[in-house]
Amino acid sequence: MPRAIALACILWLASAAARAEWYEREEAIMGTRIAVQLWATDPDLAARAMDAVMADMHRTDELMSTYKPESQLSQVNAHAFERPVKVDPDIIDVVQQALEYSRLSDGAFDVTYASVGYLYDYRKHVHPTDAQIAAALPSVDYRQLRVDPAANTIRFLSKGMRVDLGGIAKGWAVDRGVDILRRLGIEHAMVNAGGDTRLLGDRLGKPWVVGIRDPRKDNTVVTRIPLQDEAISTSGDYERFFEENGVRYHHILVPGTGRSPHAVRSVTIIGPTATRTDGITKPVFILGVERGMEFVRRVKDVEAIIVDDQGRIFYSPGLEPPP
The pLDDT value recorded for residue 320 is 75
What own/partner pairs with CB < 8 Å and gap ≥ 24 does 97-100 have? Answer: 97/168, 97/172, 97/275, 97/279, 98/142, 98/165, 98/167, 98/168, 98/279, 99/142, 99/145, 99/147
Predicted pLDDT at 141: 98
Cα–Cα distances (Å) from 120 to 238, 267, 288, in that order, read 15, 22, 22
Reply yes or no on whether the pLDDT at 306 is more than 90.
yes
Helix, strand or coil, per DSSP, at residue 202: coil
Higher-scoring residue by pLDDT: 18, 64: 64
Kindly tell me the burial class for residue 304, based on how many C-beta atoms sit within 10 Å of its own C-beta (0-12, 13-18, 19 or more): buried
Mean local confidence (pLDDT), 116-137: 97
Interatomic CA distance for residues 113 and 187, integer angstroms: 38
Q: Mean pLDDT, to the nearest integer, of 232-257?
A: 96
pLDDT at 44: 97
Residue 3 has pLDDT above 70, yes or no: no
Work out the percent of the chain whose per-residue pLDDT is above 70: 93
Residue 20: per-residue pLDDT: 81
Crossing angle of helices 89-104 and 169-183, rounded to 10°: 120
Q: Assess whether pLDDT exceeds 50 at residue 7.
A: no
Q: Distance between CA 267 and CA 97 in Å, rounded?
A: 20
Cβ atoms of 196 and 269 within 8 Å: the answer is: no
> What is the strand order of the sheet 85-86 is part of?
85-86, 153-156, 145-148
Whether the pLDDT of residue 18 is over 70: the answer is no
DSSP 144: G
Task: Say which amino acid occupies 54.
Answer: M
What's the half-sphere exposure (Cβ side, CA atoms, 13 Å) at 190? 24
pLDDT of residue 323: 64
Sheet holding 21-29, edge to edge: 21-29, 32-40, 189-193, 196-200, 231-236, 264-271, 303-308, 313-315
Q: What is the b/e burial string over 138-159, where b = at least 16 CB atoms within 10 angstroms of the residue's CB? A: ebbbbebbebeeeebbbbbeee
Q: Both ends of the chain: CA-CA distance in Å?
A: 56
Q: How confident is the model at residue 300 (pLDDT cuts 50, 70, 90)?
A: confident
| pLDDT for res 19 | 61
- Residue 17 has a pLDDT of 46
Mean pLDDT value across residues 7-12? 41
Question: What does 230-275 look like in DSSP terms, one character per residue?
Answer: -EEEEEETTSSEEEETTEEEES---TTTSS---SEEEEEEEES-HH
- All structural domains of the chain: 22-61+167-319 (3.10.520.10), 69-156 (1.10.3980.10)
* 14-18, 29-33, 142-146, 180-184: range with lowest mean pLDDT: 14-18
Q: How many helices (H) and strands (E) does the chain have?
A: 8, 15
pTM of the model as a whole:
0.92
Once rounded to an integer, what is the mean pLDDT over residues 68-77? Answer: 98
Confidence grade of residue 13 (pLDDT, cut at 50, 70, 90)? very low
Tell me the pLDDT tens digit for each residue of 183-209.
999 999 999 999 999 999 999 999 999
SS3 1: coil
Residue 322 pLDDT grade (very low, low, confident, very high; cuts 50, 70, 90): low
